[in-house]
Amino acid sequence: MSEKLNRLKEVLGEVSDIGHAASVLGWDQQVNMPPGGGEARGQQLATLGRIAQEKFTADEVGILLEDLKKEFSDPDTDEGAMIRVAARTYDKAKRVPPDFVAEQAIAGTKGFNAWVEAKGKSDFSIFQPYLEKNVELVKKYISFFPSADHPYDVLLDDFEPGMKTAEVREIFGNLRPKQVALIKAISETRQVKDDFLNRKYNEKKVWDFGESIITKFGYDFSRGRQDKAPHPFETTFSVNDVRITNRYETGNPLATLFSAMHESGHAMYEQGVNPAYERTSLESGTSLAVHESQSRMWENLVGRSLPFWEHFFPGLKKAFPAQLDGVSAKTFYKGINKVEPSFIRVNADEATYNMHIMLRLELEIGMVEGSIAIKDLPEIWNAKMRDYLGVTPPNDALGVLQDIHWSYGSIGYFSTYALGNIVSAQLWEKINKDIKDLDEQIRKGKFDALLAWLREKIHKYGHKYDPQDLIQKATGSRIDSAAYVRYLTKKYSDIYGL
Amino acid sequence: MSEKLNRLKEVLGEVSDIGHAASVLGWDQQVNMPPGGGEARGQQLATLGRIAQEKFTADEVGILLEDLKKEFSDPDTDEGAMIRVAARTYDKAKRVPPDFVAEQAIAGTKGFNAWVEAKGKSDFSIFQPYLEKNVELVKKYISFFPSADHPYDVLLDDFEPGMKTAEVREIFGNLRPKQVALIKAISETRQVKDDFLNRKYNEKKVWDFGESIITKFGYDFSRGRQDKAPHPFETTFSVNDVRITNRYETGNPLATLFSAMHESGHAMYEQGVNPAYERTSLESGTSLAVHESQSRMWENLVGRSLPFWEHFFPGLKKAFPAQLDGVSAKTFYKGINKVEPSFIRVNADEATYNMHIMLRLELEIGMVEGSIAIKDLPEIWNAKMRDYLGVTPPNDALGVLQDIHWSYGSIGYFSTYALGNIVSAQLWEKINKDIKDLDEQIRKGKFDALLAWLREKIHKYGHKYDPQDLIQKATGSRIDSAAYVRYLTKKYSDIYGL
């Protein structure tokens, strides 16, 4: 039997190597590639993807998995978990015909191009037929799978293994009225100052300050690096080579700091996975929501907290004395936490962010169920924006066309962002019970106990447990928004004197 | 039949994609990779290499090639050439058993480690048993091939397709006495000044000056880039993504300029191959010697010429007024062409460089024939150094242990460096016949006619013609050292007043 296990590991190792090679090519494409390189790079990535798919979906792998499932049936062992996760991925890969994957890719490219034009002209009607096609294909994708409690479950499962639409609805349903009420209460108080955030900050100094922060966090530069790219992201080539990218926007110069913290959160998760899981189905973080819980925790619960800036603000002020003249740590803290309902999700503050997600989830479910006609999306979008945030997008570009995801047919992804926020607060409460003086430690710029906790309770497990099980194991309960509501309420009560 | 051709192209395309992906990974390893990334990267490269090998050596490919060879037998057509080159590579790949390739790789790694230690301690005896093993494996490698005129032919053919040991010996045999005589004549004249080359030059300014030169040459930065790496090299990811690396050595600050010119010569060759050859056996330059003829031409025949510096020296002096105070273009030109027999090949000037190569070729042939015992190498090395260059290495590190090549079992490579020099001068004579005012153009900083000539006569053909045939086609004769002797004699007569 160990011979079969070894053979499976051999295949999984090869597939992982190819996937990581593709990640290097993808990273290079964003970070280094000269303009001419695009066409060949696309071909190289397509070839690697096809080979990995062929190797992984070979009938031999299916037979191996069937045999091994019986032998290693205990999901609490590494072997059992490895086979369970590989078998699930195998089943998914086998259900979707290669021709369909190709069709979806082509529709995605066409959709993306139409979306770019539509967004440029702020005219949803240009994108509408392509989105209709994308949704049609998503429905076909769902049809390849056994019928679920809700068709949207199939999509969700690709990003959050085991998560159900009903669960997400319940979690969001509990959260929504409380978050709406909080936003309303804040809107009735006096707004905080943040003009000092819009001054001119030297790019290199901001970049270096960000690197000094994430070095203190524990992001290991001997097993990673930070480069400039059009968008911040994290990418994994192995547990010992986990890179992040970042950017500098003149209109929002200190965003670079928060992006560095965010991406380092993803990266520390990847750097902390049990090295024994390398080149198996257990490598890497377990789901997008759990991943996002890590990035959001370092960005928001740590990086937008008062203790954090009590430690770092003097250094920042030393680097930017003119820009921060007369600004105190507390004023700075309030400024970076300013709540202001706005049109664009990616610029949203912590208090309003989730509302953008809930809106998208409802629209996605409606599209998949067929209860929402694509042509009606702009109108429904704007109505919900008024409902949740009290603002009305003046045009489609600032409304329904803002996100890239639907353009290439990605539906099912958005809720992981909000779930990540929710999980981050849930973990945070538990961590603060286990590390009594965490605030004190952060105020001293010490993060080792925090990172050690995350390593031990989350990171090291990689893909071993599904997200709900992992959160249950770490906190004693399944994903629940109560902690997040408590966190937001306490934070903004302090900032806005509610 | 076109169906079979399409299928062959499909396989060659896939193999090319995997090879280029591996090149990206290799480039990243040299340029970006954090220290932790090494182990996984080795595994990823091994996996890609194995998959490419499996795909290319599949029996299906052999059958396709056999069938297609009959149909497309005219080597002057692209299809005929493509099939001829692919069939030759296929034949080689099939002859060498995978187990042997693995054995050689392991011996190479051990040899490399022993060589590092031996060189550090300047003690050849540490490396001797490993070199003996490497040579034994090289002999075994030769045994997989049909017997040739000379066993060394098999090795040479891997780098210079179709080239025979007897040909190289004849070419070198004609050259050696003339080059020895030239070096002797120079040694009897008054040495030129070059102290200004050893002053402190600002790294960024040197780097930027190098980039301004190669931009003028015609290296297309929209299809390439230059990065820092421990060693200068060129690497190809596609005809539209051809990158170079460079370094800055405080002890030899302006070497960065000549390395940029050298690597851009390789890169312009790759950027100039017919795009229709992409993802086939005809992509990339045809041989190492022809490649080296391009890099050496831009570095030496252009970049170490008087007209070149008559154009560029004012700009260099403006960038470095203190360092070049009182230095004229002519003095600078003489300084960068200083001839001085020395121990280390990679630092050798144009007049002495080839002698280092001839020495190595003779030793390699002796090792392969068995006429030279490995243990005697240091002694023979030093005797030949006295003979050819009039200097005796004081120790093994500065003598027989200086090059990396033998450490990992690479034998057969060295002569391509000297052949490249020879071919560069041969092409140069022909180019000067075709472009009458080339010197004048260079003096004006214009290189477009030169590059157009190289594109038309060399670059665009890629792998279509073997090196001797290509040179014949371009110059009217096969590889011959006469032009190189004329070039050296004229150049150094002028510089040293011979």
Encode pLDDT of B265-312 as tens digits: 999 999 999 999 999 999 999 999 999 999 999 999 999 999 999 999
Chain B residues inside the 8 Å CB shell of A17: 43-44, 47-48
Residue B141 neighbours by CB under 8 Å, 6+ apart: B96, B100, B104, B154, B155
pLDDT value at A58 more than 80:
yes
B251 burial class (0-12, 13-18, 19+ CB within 10 angstroms)? Answer: exposed
CA distance A170 to B483: 84
Residue A137 has pLDDT above 70, yes or no: yes
How many C-beta neighbours within 10 Å does residue B390 have? 13
Give A-chain residues touching B224 at CB under 8 angstroms: 34, 36
d(CA B415, CA B405): 12
A195 min Cα distance to partner chain B (Å): 37
CA dist list (Å): B434 to A497, B269, B428, B495: 84, 19, 10, 26
- Give every CB contact of residue A216 below 8 A, 6+ residues apart in sequence: A445, A447
> Residue A467, class by beta-carbon neighbours within 10 Å (0-12 exposed, 13-18 middle, 19+ buried)?
buried
Q: Does B34 touch chain A (CB under 8 A)?
A: yes
Q: Tell me, yes or no, if B263 is annotated catalytic.
A: yes
- What whole-number percentage of chain A has pLDDT above 70? 100
**Are the C-beta atoms of residues A339 and A496 closer than 8 Å to each other?**
yes
Tell me the average pLDDT across A469-483. Answer: 97
User: Any residues with CB less than 8 A from the CB of A188 and at least 6 apart, and which?
Assistant: none
Chain A CB contacts of B237 under 8 Å are 37, 40-41, 44
Distance, in Å, from the CA atom of A209 to the CA atom of A319, rounded to the nearest integer, reads 8
- What pLDDT, on the 0 to 100 scale, is given for residue A1? 58
Task: Inspect the interface and report whether the beta carbons of A28 and B24 lie closer than 8 Å.
Answer: yes
The answer to whether residues A462 and A274 touch, using CB atoms and an 8 Å cutoff, is yes
Q: What is the DSSP string of A389-428?
A: HS---SSSTTTTTS-SGGGGT--S-THHHHHHHHHHHHHH
Nearest C-alpha of chain B: how many angstroms from A225? 7
Cβ–Cβ gap B34/A222 under 8 Å: yes
Flag whether pLDDT at A450 surpasses 90.
Answer: yes
* CA distance linking residue B320 with residue B313, whole number of Å: 10
Please choose, from the candidates B211, B442, B210, B219, the residue with its C-alpha nearest in 3D space to the C-alpha of residue B311. Answer: B442
End-to-end CA distance of chain B: 64
Instruction: Determine the distance in angstroms separating the CA of B229 from the nearest CA of chain A, rounded to an integer.
Output: 15
DSSP B240-290: TEEEEEE---TTSTTHHHHHHHHHHHHHHHHHTS-GGGTTSTT-S-S-HHH
Segment A282-306 shows an average pLDDT of 98
Name residue, tokens 């000037």: B349
Residue A356: CB atoms within 10 Å: 26
Give me B473's structure tokens: 């086609």
What residue of B is the nearest CA neighbor of A10? B47
Residue A2 reports pLDDT greater than 90 = no
What number of residues does chain A have?
A: 498
User: Which run of H or E residues covers position B238?
Assistant: strand B234-238
Name, in order, each residue with C-beta under 8 angstroms of B40's C-beta and a sequence gap of 6 or more. A20, A237, A238, A239, A240, A241, A278
Contact call for A13 and B221, based on CB within 8 A: no
CB contact under 8 A, B17 and A221: no
Q: Does B224 touch chain A (CB under 8 A)?
A: yes
**β-strands A241-246, A234-238: how paired?**
antiparallel
Residues of A in contact with B12 (CB under 8 A): none
Tokens of A461: 């497990």
Asked if A35 and B222 come within 8 Å (Cβ–Cβ), the reply is yes
Best mutation target among A32, A33, A211, A221 (most B Cβ atoms within 10 Å) is A32
Calpha distance B373→B375 (Å, rounded): 5
Give the residue numbers of A annotated as catalytic, written as ranges: 263
Q: Which residues pair with A238 in a beta bridge?
A: A241
CA distance A260 to chain B (A): 18
Q: Tell me if A237 and B39 make a contact (CB, 8 A cut-off).
A: no
Chain A residue with minimal CA distance to B242?
A37
Listed in sequence order, the residues at least 6 apart from B353 whose beta carbon sits closer than 8 Å to its beta carbon are B345, B417, B418, B421
The two structure tokens encoding residue B288 = 């190492």
Q: Is the dihedral of CA A137, A143, A144, A147 positive or negative?
A: positive
Question: Which residue, among A301, A335, A332, A298, has the nearest Cα to A317 in the 3D structure?
Answer: A332
Name residues whose C-beta falls within 8 Å of residue B394's C-beta, 6 or more positions apart in sequence: B343
The answer to whether B24 and B241 are in contact (CB under 8 A) is: no
Gap from B64 CA to chain A (nearest CA, Å): 21
Nearest to A21 among B21, B220, B224 (CB): B21
User: How many Å apart are CA A389 and CA A179, to the nearest integer?
Assistant: 10
- Whether residue A483 contacts residue A430, with contact meaning beta carbons closer than 8 Å, is answered with no
Contact B240 A20 (CB under 8 A): no
Contact criterion met (CB below 8 Å) for B200 and B253:
yes
**Do the Cβ atoms of B43 and A241 come within 8 Å?**
no
Residue spans of beta strands (DSSP E) within B282-392: none
Residues of B in contact with A34 (CB under 8 A): 221-225, 240-241, 243
**B238 to chain A: which residues are within 8 Å by CB?**
36-37, 39-41, 44
Q: Which amino acid is at A229?
A: A
Which pTM does this prediction carry? 0.94
For residue B242, which phi and psi values (nearest 5 degrees)? -120, 110
Minimum distance, in Å, between the CA of residue B227 and any CA atom of chain A: 10
**Which one of B160, B211, B234, B263 is the catalytic residue?**
B263
Confidence label for A111 from pLDDT (cuts 50, 70 and 90): very high
Nearest neighbour of B48 by CB, restricted to A21, A37, A222:
A21
Chain B: give the shortest CA distance to residue A39, in Å: 9
Nearest to A487 by CA among A441, A423, A436: A423
Residues of A with CB below 8 A from B243's CB?
Answer: 34
Query: In the 3-class helix/strand/coil scheme, how is A210-239 assigned residue by residue?
Result: HHHHHHHHCCCHHHCCEEECCCCCEEEEEC
| Measured distance CA(B11)–CA(A498) in Å, rounded | 68
Beta bridge pairs of residue A132: none
Substitution target in B31, B32, B221, B225 with the highest count of A β-carbons within 10 Å is B32
Backbone angles phi, psi at B348, to 5 degrees: -70, 150
Angle ∠(A224,A228,A231) on CA atoms, nearest 5: 105
Residue pair A112/A407 in contact by the 8 Å Cβ criterion: yes
Which chain B residues are within 8 Å of A37, Cβ to Cβ?
A: 223, 237-238, 240-241
Residues of A in Cβ contact (< 8 Å) with B14:
47, 51
Task: Compare all CA atoms of chain B with the CA of A32 and give the residue at the minimum distance.
Answer: B225
Q: Is the dihedral of CA A250, A252, A258, A264 positive or negative?
A: negative
Which residue in A has a C-alpha nearest to residue B31's C-alpha? A32
Q: What local confidence, expressed as pLDDT, does residue B72 receive?
A: 95
Rounded Cα distance between B389 and B58, Å, is 50
CA geometry: angle at A124 spanning A123 and A126, to 5°?
Answer: 80
Residue A62 contacts residue A8 (beta carbons within 8 Å)? no
Q: Is the distance from CB of A257 to CB of A210 less than 8 angstroms?
A: yes
Helix (H) or strand (E) holding B237: strand B234-238
Q: Quickly count: other Cβ atoms within 10 Å of residue A59's Cβ.
A: 8
What is the pLDDT at residue A245?
A: 97
Instruction: Assess A5–B contact: CB distance below 8 Å, yes or no.
Output: no
Q: Mean pLDDT of successive 10-residue segments in chain B (498 residues)? A: 92 97 95 94 94 96 97 95 97 93 90 94 97 97 96 96 95 94 95 96 98 98 96 96 97 96 98 98 97 98 98 98 97 98 93 96 96 97 94 96 94 95 98 98 98 98 97 97 96 95
In whole angstroms, give the CA distance from residue B352 to residue B340. Answer: 8
Of A37, A227, A278, the CB nearest to B238: A37
CB-nearest to B238 from A40, A220, A225 is A40
State the ipTM, two decimals: 0.93
Q: Which of B40, B223, B279 comes nearest A237 by C-beta?
A: B40
Residues B41, B42, B44, CA angle at the centre, nearest 5°?
Answer: 60
A230 interfacial to chain B (CB closer than 8 Å): no
Helix or strand run (H / E) with residue B235: strand B234-238
The confidence score (pLDDT) of residue B1 equals 58
Cβ contacts of A389 within 8 Å, gap of 6 or more: A183, A341, A342, A352, A355, A356
Nearest-CA distance A241 → chain B (Å): 5
Report in angstroms the alpha-carbon separations of B217 from A90, B297, B439. 52, 12, 14
The answer to whether A18 contacts chain B (CB < 8 Å) is: yes
On chain A, the residues whose CB falls within 8 A of the CB of B32 are: 225, 227
Cα B231 to the center of its chain, rounded Å:
13
Q: Distance between CA atoms of B132 and A377, rounded to whole angstroms?
A: 75
Nearest CB to B240; choose among A39, A47, A221: A39
Query: Residues A155, A409: contact at Cβ < 8 Å?
Result: no
